[in-house]
Each structure stands twice: as structure tokens, then as C-alpha cells.
Structure 1
Amino acid sequence: MTRKTAKQHDPIEFRHLRYFIAAAEHGSFRKAGAALGLSQSGVSRSIADLEDQIGASLFHRHTWGVELTFAGKRFLRRSRHIIRAIDTGAEDAAAIGRSEYGSVRVGIYSSIASGFLADLLRAYDRQHGEVQIKLLDGNAAEHVAAIRKLKLDVAFLTGTEEWSGCETVPLWSERVFAVLPLEHELTQLHQIEWRDLAEESFIVSESPPGQEIRDHLVRRLAGLGRHPEIQVQYVGRDNLLPLVAIGRGLTLVSEAMTVAQFPGVTYRPIVGEILPFSAVWSPRNDNPAFRRLLSMARSMAAVTNINGTMPLSSDAGMSAVPSQTRDPSQRSAQASERSGEPGR
């Protein structure tokens, strides 16, 4: 039996391939219909439409059933390949929708040594272990530019600034700590104030968030009538703190960094200095893996707001023994006053 030339303008429907495969496997339109929950005539009609579309007969019809033609045998192999590819693609898409795999590109601007962001990434990895998390250091402007181009899914930045073309949600906050050499006189204090830092020299990294720390120091100390001496070091954060240890200057870190123990340095919180952190992303981003991360971050932030802050160890970086000071009696009195302990 010869069929008419295929109708090029009519696409082959997915269901036609399934009906064809079922008929080939059962050797009968009636049995195929029973397996598919269709009538024999419905299957027969669909197969006839398919044969008209491709311009070839796929089955020999017999009273006892159907048998594949040579063209039908060739088409069966292709049809099964197409069905498998579509089924696999559907499973992949569903898995991505469930965030079972994929990737999330995250811009960071602070340490992930501990704190909210470390807890978030750890919890996300437990629930979505097949998702790749790609971290990128950088400054806020670079991260936001990448987010607008959808080259970055989300950035966790300091502050609560609204960025054009982006969504922003505040999530958590951290205290600000001064990093001191162990022998520094300010190590006698449990916490320090900006006036204690007015005469100090500072170092910052050339890489993020060095510029932000520099700007913060200038703003705070300018209010005390001081213009701080700040040297830029062309090293990362991990090499900046050893420079503090050898006396090249002090620096600042957020609370998450204070769990990192570096020989020769300790940390002291600055009174009243709280640094907010926000998530920034593009509203056009439809990456399911990222959406799950954002949802988890919001849930964690809500729990934090209900239960209060999520502090690090209250003794973080405060175990150093005070050493020599320029004016021990004065520092001891200040320490007693701020810590509430009787003076010696």
C-alpha cells in the first residue's frame, strides 16, 4: 500500500509516536488501544494520520493484527529514540525544578567562615547536594553588574541599598570587630569605642572589602576630627591578618570572620557597630536552584528575627592575654568600667 506525499506543514504529534510504538509492540491496534485506554478505531485513525504525514505505510494490516513494514521498522527505532530523549528531558527539567541538580552562582562580600551565610550554604548543601554552588568574591558594583546580566544569581552584600533593576531583601546583621596584635594595649578591653582607635594606623586589602573598610574608617574617625592613616596592602584577607600580627596596623572584620584563628592576633567588638547584610538578585532570574536558596535564606532570616540574633561564640577572639601597654593603669580602669568588673 502506497501513501501520499508527507504534509510538510503538519508536525508529527507526540501522541502519534506513542500510539505507533504501542501498536508495534502489541502487534494489534485493539491490544494497543486497551493498553493506552483508547478505542481500536482511535488508534487506527491516529496511525493512519501518522502514515499520511510521513508519506509511507508503517504497518501491513491483517485480520489477525498488524505487522511492521520495512519503513515501519526503520521508523520504530527512530521513534523509540525520540520518546526516550523526550522522557529524559522531562525528567531532567522536573529534577531542575525540584533543585535536585543545577548550579547557583553566588557573589560574596564577607567571610563564610561562620555565621548566617555559612549556616545557609551548609543547610542548602544538605538538602540539595547535587546542586553546584559557585562562589565569587568581588565588590558590590561588580556583583550587581553581573546580576543584571544574569551572570550571577545572587549576591550577599553589606547594607540595605536598593539597586536599580534588582530586588533587595535584608537578611541578617553582624557586629564589627577590630583586629589587634596580641601585645596591643586595647586587648585589655572586652569591647572598644571609636575614640580608642583615633590615634591608630590601619591596613586594608586592595581586594574586596578593603575599599569599603577604608571608607568606613574615614567616616567614623572623621567624626572625631581625625584623618586616619590607612595603608593599602595588595594581599587577600588571609594574608592581611598576619600583617596585623607583626604590627603593620589594625584592620576591621565582620563577626563571621572572628572564628578564624590567626597566630598573633585577636578581635575586639566596636561598641554600637552593627553591619546589615542583604541578598540582591534580578527579578528576571528564573533559576529554580537559586529560588530555593533565596527561599531558604528568607526562612532562616525569619527564624532569626523571631528568636533574636544568631550570635557567634560570645568569647570569639577574646581569649588573648593582655600584654604590655603604654598606660596600664588607665587601660585597666577603662576595662573595669566597660566590663563591669571591679578594678584591681
Structure 2
Amino acid sequence: MIELRKLRYIIAAAEAGSFSRAARNLNIKQATLSRHILDVEQRLGIAMFDRGTRGARLTPNGKTYLRTARRIVKEFEELNAWVRDTRTGEVGGLAIGFYTSFTAGNLRATLVGFRDFYPRVKLRGFERNRQMLLEGIENGLLDIVVMIGEAQYPNLRSRPFWSERILVAMPEGHPLASRERIHWTDLHGERFLLTERDPGPETRHMLLSKLWMPGYTPEIDMDDIGRDTVLSAIALGGFISIVAESALGIQVPGVVFREVHESNGHIRIGFSGYWREDNDNAALHRFLEFVAERYSLPPLSGQHHSSQQSGKEMA
């Protein structure tokens, strides 16, 4: 078997046109380089160089061998670079689960930004309900999921990511549409339409906590439809809905959005990331670092991969 370093010696000698110059370039003795090249020639039974006082020129067999040697060395270097980058999270894959709108908002902006910063990490997105997302983490199909709220799950790590404004979606002809901001008390007596799918149940709980009072329970219809269909139904009149800011990317004619406010300002809802404690995917740790830097979050304890180590800086 021909050692890789001997292939490098042959390439260096061919490029320098001289054994002495190649040896100087490689910072080795000329005798060492000559001995290794001669060993290759003897093993293969061919002469690769015509040696003379003016240097060393490749023979026809040497030119043919050089083409293959360069390809082998190049592929070996590319393989080493791939392994190194995979270990640091700059190359690989990342499976992300979510159930919120991907048309706008922080989730979309974060994934687009991460893809631009780490173009060799292949992102795969999966839109599922909460239970299926948690099962996906458990069985290893997903690296991380992004969900509304903060909760604790066995064997999972989590951290808050970002927040989005809470909006009322209503027909453009609704009496409240003329207001720039809406308060919870303005919504008493309204009929709400929500999806049975996530995050519909969480939205329903929020509505009940904000609007319920003795003698009054808000009227909430829950249908097995998607977010787009909910907004399309609202455009027809008769319903309003509560959505996160990311829903602004869903353009439905006849629907307007207004912020929900409390006494201390507009209301926001938090999003968190969840992942398995034993997930050693380096791309996952890169993603967590990216989110932390993007939203000025404190670093996670126990993380070993950092942007400083990669020699990159966030724009």
C-alpha cells in the first residue's frame, strides 16, 4: 500500500520540477523525499521522473499516476474537512418540529438566518401536533421541537427562545377593526373560532383564563381545521380568533389583525425549544448557540461547542 504522504511527495516534486525545491517546500531532507519516491517507483515497477541536472520531469507514466494521486489526496483532504466540520456542527442535518405558522415570525426568521449562516447543515421541518412532536424527539426522529409555553418533560432539556405578540383576527368590517389596540374586556360577547389542532387548545385555555367571569363563559367553537381555514372562515363574518404574530404571514382578504393589550402593554406569548438530553448532534448545539446569540439569551450550561471555536462571528 502506498502511503498518503508519499503521494504528497510525488505531487510536490512534480509541481516544483525539482526534488531539491520540493524538499525545501516540504521542510524535509532531499534524500528523504528521493528515497520515498524511489520506493513508490520500485513497488509499481515504473519510472515516474526523468532525473537530470536541470531537475526532475514527469514521465508519461508519471503524468498518468499524478492525476490519480492528486484526486486521492484531494478526496482525502475533503473527507477530513467533512469529518471536522461535522464534529463542530458546520455540516450535517437538523430535524426541527413545530406546530405554529411558518409563513412569518421568529421561527421562520431564525431558520432562514441559520441556513444562511450554516449552509451545509440540511434543515428538515416537520409540522405536527404537540404529542407527535414529543414522540418524534423520544424516538430520535426529531432533534428539537419549538412549541408555545414552557413545560417540563422527562429526559428532555428545554429553554425559552422568543416571544410573539398576541393578535385578534377579525373581519375587516367588524366594529373593533377601527381600533388600533384591543383589550380583553372588548372581547366579551364575541364568538371565537379556533382549530382543534395545536395551538388551538392552548389558545382556548388562555381565552377562558382572560375572559371568564361569574355568569359569563366565552363562546368558543373548536373545529378540526387548519389555521388558514380558520382565517378564511373569519373573513366570512360571525367569528373572530386569537393568533400569534407569526400568523401575519397568512394573507386572507377581508381579515385584519389587531394587538391585544393589557394595562402594562401588548400581550406576548413565549416559545420554547425542547430536545433530548442525550442528543449529541453537533448541528443541534450550533442551532442552540445561534438562537442564544440572535435573541441575546444566556448560554446553556454544559455546552461544549461555541461560535468562537468555529472562528465565526454573528453578523
The verdict on a shared fold, with TM-score over 0.5 as the criterion, is: yes
Which of 151, 160, 163 is the matching residue for 2:153?
Answer: 163
SS across alignment from 2:44: coil
Query: How far, CA to CA, are the matches of 1:197 and 1:237 in structure 2?
Result: 20
How many residue pairs are counted as aligned between the two chains? 290
User: How is 1:74-153 mapped onto 2 (pairs within 5 angstroms)?
Assistant: 75-90=65-80, 104-121=94-111, 123-124=113-114, 127-128=117-118, 133-153=123-143
Verify: 1:172 aligned to 2:167, yes or no: no
SS across alignment from 2:198: coil
User: Counterpart of 1:295?
Assistant: 289
Which of 13, 26, 44 is the matching residue for 1:56?
Answer: 44
User: How is 1:1-344 mapped onto 2 (pairs within 5 angstroms)?
Assistant: 12-23=2-13, 29-47=19-37, 55-59=43-47, 64=52, 75-90=65-80, 104-121=94-111, 123-124=113-114, 127-128=117-118, 133-184=123-174, 190-193=181-184, 197=187, 199-217=189-207, 229-258=219-248, 262=252, 263-269=254-260, 271=262, 274-282=268-276, 284-288=279-283, 290-302=284-296
In our comparison, the structure showing a higher alpha carbon Rg is 1
SS across alignment from 2:295: helix
Query: How far, CA to CA, are the matches of 1:165 and 1:122 in structure 2?
Result: 29
| Residues 232 and 223 of structure 1: CA distance in aligned 2, closer, same or farther (over 3 Å) | same
SS across alignment from 1:231: strand
Query: How far, CA to CA, are the matches of 1:173 and 1:209 in structure 2?
Result: 15
Deviation at residue 172 of structure 1 after TM alignment? 2.0
In structure 2, stretches of 5+ residues that fail to align are 299-315
Query: How far, CA to CA, are the matches of 2:48 and 2:282 in structure 1?
Result: 49
Deviation at residue 96 of structure 1 after TM alignment? 6.7
SS across alignment from 1:280: strand
Identity across matched positions, percent: 29
Deviation at residue 267 of structure 1 after TM alignment? 3.1
- 8 Å Cα contact 1:176/1:269 also seen in 2: yes
| Residues 14 and 226 of structure 1: CA distance in aligned 2, closer, same or farther (over 3 Å) | farther
Provide the aligned C-alpha RMSD in A. Answer: 4.3
Deviation at residue 170 of structure 1 after TM alignment? 0.8
SS across alignment from 2:28: coil
Query: How far, CA to CA, are the matches of 1:36 and 1:206 in structure 2?
Result: 68
In structure 1, stretches of 5+ residues that fail to align are 1-10, 305-344
- 8 Å Cα contact 1:241/1:265 also seen in 2: no
Deviation at residue 17 of structure 1 after TM alignment? 1.6
- 8 Å Cα contact 1:179/1:267 also seen in 2: yes
- 8 Å Cα contact 1:174/1:276 also seen in 2: yes
Deviation at residue 261 of structure 1 after TM alignment? 5.6
Deviation at residue 252 of structure 1 after TM alignment? 1.5
Query: How far, CA to CA, are the matches of 1:217 and 1:205 in structure 2?
Result: 14
TM-score using structure 2 length: 0.68
